[in-house]
Amino acid sequence: MAKKHIRFDWAAKKMLRDKKNFGILEGFLSELLKEDILIEGLLESEANQEDEDEKFNRVDLYAENSKGEHIIIEIQNTRELDYLMRMLFGTAKAVTENLKIGSRYADIKKVIAVSIVYFDLGQGDDYVYVGQTRFKGMHTKTELQLTSAQKKMFKKTEVHQTFPEYYLIRTTKFADVVKDTLDEWIYFFKNSEVLDEFRAKGMNEVREKLNVMNMPDEERKKYNKYIERLSDEASYADTLKIEAEEKVREDERKKRDTEIALNFLHLGFNDEQISAGTGLTLADVQTLRSKLNK
């Protein structure tokens, strides 16, 4: 039986910055990256600063794992057309801000950017996308490899491992069909529910620490207000979308009717006949005739 749990964006802003809750982040990242992840701590960043702002349009966490890699976890609730560029900016900023003046380029930390979005971003039929930088030969089509010296310097085996990696999770494209342990996490992100059979790393911590019923009364009231606001914003966004689609359909109808009316004008029909045959107002038909006669 599924039980309702605290939404991940709320948890990220209010709870997961506490070291005793790192197990939740570690579980998710371990399933996503297919290796055991240990979070050493949160890094100094605007994203990690606590404030009293109750807006959750975007929630960020900026962490460092036991290998010294920097991990950006970003949760985006509202549509942002240039969000892909935001991802690029975030990784570029993370790379440059954490390279000390005078340090070698070899000291640049690997950045892993994980984006969990709650809107339709781009076009595609998958709900998890991975972005990497690879160098392919223009003529040979072979991939550029690291030398032995570079492997030793970077402590990496492949060129793409030295560059930022992007993981994009599109919750709206997830069909609630759970096939593996990563899907268990995505199901939780989308539905704020943990099914009894879920066994992914970190799920026990989610069950224990993100149970809505375990929240203090005052905090639960704030959380419930937030959920209500999310529903209001979703309804408003849907209304805008429906109205925009209707406007497009109306414009297309009017364009089609105008083209038919112009044909009728050329055939010699009078204004009343054209208005009756197309649905255009008499004034619209008269305006068309006036333009045609100029």
What pLDDT does residue 44 have?
58
Please give the pLDDT value at position 53: 46
Q: Which residue, 182, 214, 246, sits at the end of a domain?
A: 214
Query: Which amino acid, 4?
Result: K
- If asked whether residues 74 and 126 sit together in one domain, one would say yes
Q: Are residues 168 and 210 in the same domain?
A: yes
Task: Note whether residue 225 is domain-resident.
Answer: no
Domain containing 265 equals 230-293
Cβ-proximal residues to 238 (8 Å cutoff; 6+ apart), any chain? none
| Residues 195 and 252 occupy one common structural domain | no
Domain total in the chain: 2
137 and 181 within one domain: yes
CA 136 – CA 160 distance, rounded (Å): 11
What pLDDT is attached to residue 14?
A: 86
By DSSP bridging, strand 165-170 and strand 111-117 are: parallel
**Are residues 264 and 189 part of one domain?**
no
pTM of this structure: 0.76
In this structure, the answer to whether residues 257 and 286 fall within a common structural domain is: yes
Same domain, 190 and 264: no
Q: Are residue 190 and residue 235 in the same domain, yes or no?
A: no
Which residue stretches of the chain have pLDDT < 70? 1-3, 44-59, 234, 236-237
Burial of 121 (0-12, 13-18, 19+ CB in 10 A): buried
The whole-number pLDDT of residue 183 equals 98
Contacts (Cβ under 8 Å, ≥6 apart) of 66:
37, 38, 40
In a domain, 224, yes or no: no
CA distance 31 to 187: 13
Q: Are residues 40 and 133 in the same domain?
A: yes
281, part of any domain: yes
Contacts 24+ apart (CB under 8 A), 274-281: 279/253, 280/254
For residues 50 and 76, the answer to whether their CB atoms sit within 8 Å is: no
Query: Is the same domain home to 157 and 260?
Result: no
Q: Is residue 206 part of a domain?
A: yes
Within 5-69, strands assigned E span: 39-42, 58-65
DSSP3 helix / strand / coil % (the chain, rounded to 5): 50, 15, 35
Q: In 231-243, which positions are buried (b, 16+ CB within 10 angstroms) versus exposed (e)?
A: eeeeeeeeeeeee
| Phi, psi dihedral angles at 214 (to 5 degrees) | -90, 0
